[in-house]
Structures are given as structure tokens and as C-alpha cells.
Amino acid sequence: MYFGIWAVLLVCTLITYKAAFIELGRFNAAVALGIATFKATLVALFFMHVWHASEKLTKLVVIAALFFLLLLLGLTMTDYATRPWS
């Protein structure tokens, strides 16, 4: 199974590389980051064993970490998005 996940990750990297050369305007970054998030999810779920984690505590910790990461990025983006010169 690990080799399968690894193959999917490699294919996703290739797609990211190919997609970067297609003109999509501002959606280029969105596509690249979307694929990156999908890959990161695969790594966390399978290589970091979150999927098969038996304890609920592990899942709680992952969700809490994601929540605080979102807070961090979200509040940073509120600053960036509301600057008059941007």
C-alpha cells in the first residue's frame, strides 16, 4: 500500500509541474496549492498513520493543529487582503 501512495504522490508532482505551464491566470496558484494539500493529506493519513490511528486523541490533536494553522494563515490573510495598496 505504501508504494501505491508513493506512486500517487509522484503522479501528483508531475501533474503540478505540467499544470504550472498552463495559463490559468490567478487559478495557477490555487491549482498548485490544491494538489499540494491533497498530497499533504495523503502523507499525513498514511505515512504518518493518522488513518489507522486507534486512539481518538490522535485525531483530536490533528484537528486541533489544523484549526490553529488555519487561524494563523487566516488572520495573516486578513491583513494582506485589507491593505489599501494590494
Partner 1 sequence: MVLAVWAAQTARRTLLIVMLILTMLLGCVFLGIKAIEYKDKFEEHHVPGASFSFEKVPIPGHPPIPGQPGRYADPSHAQLFFSLYFVMTGLHALHMIIGLGIFLWLLTMAWKGRFTPEWHTPVEIGGLYWHFVDIVWIYLFPLLYLIDRHP
| Binding residues for partner 1 (CB under 8 A) | 2, 13, 16-17, 20-24, 28-29, 32-33, 35-36, 39-40, 43-44, 46-49
Question: Shortest Cβ distance from residue 59 to partner 1 (Å)?
Answer: 15
Least separation in angstroms between CB 44 and partner 1: 7
* Least distance from partner 1 to the Cβ atom of residue 36, Å: 5
Please, what's the largest Cα pairwise distance for the chain?
A: 50
Q: Residue type at 37?
A: T
Query: Is 31 in contact with 24 (CB distance < 8 Å)?
Result: yes
Nearer to partner 1, 22 or 81 (CB): 22
Distance, in Å, from the CA atom of 59 to the CA atom of 75, rounded to the nearest integer, reads 24
**Nearer to partner 1 by C-beta: 29 or 71?**
29
Distance CA 68, CA 73 (A): 9
